[in-house]
Structure 1
Amino acid sequence: MAEYRIDELARFAGTTSRNVRAYQERGLLPPPRKEGRVGIYTETHLARLRLITSLHDRGYTSAQIAELIAGWEQGRNLGEVLGLEEALNSPWTDEIPTYLPTEQIRAFLAADLTAEPGLFDRIVRLGLLKPEGDQCLVPSPQLISTVAELVSRGFPLADLLTLHEAISPAIDDVARRMVEAGSAHLIEEHGEAWLPVDGEVGEITELLQRLRQLAMSSVQGLLAHAMERHVADVMGEHLVRVIKQQAPETGV
């Protein structure tokens, strides 16, 4: 099981160390294991922290969240509860968010920012970067690395951002549909007001983990086949145009 110090835990959960300490003081987050004077957190803490952050984003107060968590834990095994939280809130990617100096990012974008001064703000609005003082949090280093490589190969950054803006809603819609399908199946099987009781938590946790694997593999496969078809179509059309342009004119 992965282990984190408080700063790492906060970064992975998309919050601050100050919030982590506040949640501990309010009893929302279990205390860390101590190694000397250093607190060591686990994936269980990360899952709980992501749940708290998600509920806060939906407008719940800390008092309401504490009540929800207390009600959920009452009469149930805490280990099972935290296991379900981990399955619900654990990341679907192995990517590790990282920080880059804001000055370094602006230097890399210098030419694009000269042509389009609002480009940096546009990147931030898309959630690709999150400024924090003199540094920027990069939620998806892999995505940023891909964009940087494409820019180095001559692709205009503004065009890549436009493509990202067009693709993101479609991907989000696919993800929501898949989650709603899983939710609808559980509701149909157990009823609208169902919550897993002792003995069912482990089963639901295993189901969620399996659904995650199936969702990722199926989407990856569909995308690969679709890309294959479209590459063939687009390149085929291009070759036909080139051949027509280069074909010698024949008189009748």
Structure 2
Amino acid sequence: MEELAREAGITVRTLRFYRERKLIPPPRREGRIAWYDEDHLARLRTIAALLDRGHTLNGIAELAEAFDHGRDVGELLGLGAPTEETPVRLSPEELADVFAGQATPENLAAALDLGYLATDGTDLVHISRRLLDTSAALVREGIPLADVLAAAHRVREHADALAELFTTLVLTTGTADRTPEDLQRLRPLAKSVVEAELSMALDRRLRGQRS
């Protein structure tokens, strides 16, 4: 404990306080010896960075609990399932910077529930660079992150319904004996239809707003 405190630049008393608040995971024990590792040091440095950015210890404790109980990166990425999305690795403080202080425990829990985020050691992994960049852009436009995530839940429901419709169309109608490989090959067609229909729907909305 003394070595960890010294490396982190804090007192042993502060380290004990962090342990009591469950801001860091317990050490690995061998008999009476408690072993801390680089993950503990990284967590302490993350706590220091979040404190510097104005986060409270209560908020950091809730974030730490979310990190420790979130899905791991293997579950998030489907253990090698096909995807066209590029995952992004972030430290907690980098995530806080991306969303301008709106990376609250509530928003983090919502993102974990959506499957946007997972934990990998002391890091976070976002499932999609495109979704991360789009969410951050909407927040910069003044839309609260909580509202962006709530909308994402609704988008997910519609996207799942569209994916089911296209899967049924490809695999169970017309030519027999189609396979998941055919579905993978034809997925650009589904994306083209959805993008075109969404574009025209937005056009209709814009015309309605102007009339």
TM-score (normalizing by structure 1): 0.47
Secondary structure of the corresponding residue to residue 90 of structure 2: strand
Aligned length: 138
Instruction: Give the Cα–Cα distance (whole angstroms) in 2 for the partners of residues 130 and 217 of structure 1.
Output: 29
Aligned partner of 1:230 among 200, 205, 209: 205
Q: Is the 8 A contact 1:128 1:138 kept in 2?
A: yes
Instruction: Give the Cα–Cα distance (whole angstroms) in 1 for the partners of residues 143 and 167 of structure 2.
Output: 34
Instruction: Give the Cα–Cα distance (whole angstroms) in 1 for the partners of residues 140 and 77 of structure 2.
Output: 31
* 1:133 aligned onto 2:121: yes
Q: Is the 8 A contact 1:130 1:138 kept in 2?
A: yes
Quickly say closer, same or farther: Cα 1:153–1:217, change in 2 above 3 A.
same
Give the structure 2 partner of residue 221 of structure 1: 196
Q: CA RMSD in A?
A: 2.9
Task: Please state how far the C-alpha of 1:99 moved relative to its aligned partner.
Answer: 0.6
Residues 73-152 of structure 1: pairs in structure 2 closer than 5 A: 90-91=82-83, 93=84, 95-109=85-99, 111-112=101-102, 117-152=105-140
Instruction: Give the Cα–Cα distance (whole angstroms) in 1 for the partners of residues 105 and 91 of structure 2.
Output: 19
Q: Is the 8 A contact 2:117 2:127 kept in 1?
A: yes
Residues 153-232 of structure 1: pairs in structure 2 closer than 5 A: 153-185=141-173, 189-190=176-177, 205=181, 207-232=182-207
Instruction: Give the Cα–Cα distance (whole angstroms) in 1 for the partners of residues 161 and 199 of structure 2.
Output: 19
- Describe the superposition over 1:98-134 as per-residue Cα deviations: whole angstroms up to 9, x where unpaired: 2111232135446435xx6422111111111112221
- Describe the superposition over 1:206-244 as per-residue Cα deviations: whole angstroms up to 9, x where unpaired: x445522211111111111111111221343xxxxxxxx
Structure 1: tracts of 5 or more residues without a match: 1-9, 16-48, 51-89, 191-195, 237-252
Instruction: Give the Cα–Cα distance (whole angstroms) in 1 for the partners of residues 127 and 101 of structure 2.
Output: 24
- Describe the superposition over 1:166-186 as per-residue Cα deviations: whole angstroms up to 9, x where unpaired: 121011111111102212127
Secondary structure of the corresponding residue to residue 112 of structure 1: coil
Q: Is the 8 A contact 1:11 1:97 kept in 2?
A: no
- Larger Rg computed on CA atoms: 1
Quickly say closer, same or farther: Cα 1:208–1:121, change in 2 above 3 A.
closer
Task: Please state how far the C-alpha of 1:11 moved relative to its aligned partner.
Answer: 9.8
- Percent identity at matched positions? 27
Quickly say closer, same or farther: Cα 1:225–1:109, change in 2 above 3 A.
closer
Q: Is the 8 A contact 1:101 1:134 kept in 2?
A: yes
Q: Is the 8 A contact 2:99 2:136 kept in 1?
A: no
Instruction: Give the Cα–Cα distance (whole angstroms) in 2 for the partners of residues 11 and 124 of structure 1.
Output: 11
1:230 aligned partner, one-letter code: R
Q: Is the 8 A contact 1:12 1:96 kept in 2?
A: no
Secondary structure of the corresponding residue to residue 209 of structure 2: helix
Structure 2: tracts of 5 or more residues without a match: 1-73
Quickly say closer, same or farther: Cα 1:110–1:210, change in 2 above 3 A.
closer
Q: Is the 8 A contact 2:116 2:128 kept in 1?
A: yes
Instruction: Give the Cα–Cα distance (whole angstroms) in 1 for the partners of residues 173 and 196 of structure 2.
Output: 23
Instruction: Give the Cα–Cα distance (whole angstroms) in 1 for the partners of residues 135 and 203 of structure 2.
Output: 21
Instruction: Give the Cα–Cα distance (whole angstroms) in 1 for the partners of residues 185 and 120 of structure 2.
Output: 36
